[in-house]
Amino acid sequence: MADSRRYLVKIRCKQCGERFVLKGSMKKGKLDTGFRQCICDNDDPRGFDISSERL
């Protein structure tokens, strides 16, 4: 059950500045929220500031 821990994830796009607040979970050692790209079509993983905290 250790993999079912929930996280609050804050994502900010470096290209347009749009912010997203999502809930995610740890899967296979990576944080998964389902987020794929920003509304400005930025899908480069390095194009985002990402911070997370455990719920």
- Structure confidence at residue 27 (pLDDT): 87
Over the stretch 11-54, which tens digit does the pLDDT of each residue have?
A: 999 999 999 999 999 888 889 999 999 999 999 999 999 999 99
Model pTM?
0.82
Q: How does 4-29 read in b/e, with b if 16+ C-beta sit within 10 Å?
A: eeebebebebeeeeeeeeeebebeee
Hey, CA dihedral for 31, 17, 40, 45, is it positive or negative? negative
| Domain ranges across the chain | 2-54
- Give yes or no for residue 3 having a pLDDT over 60: no
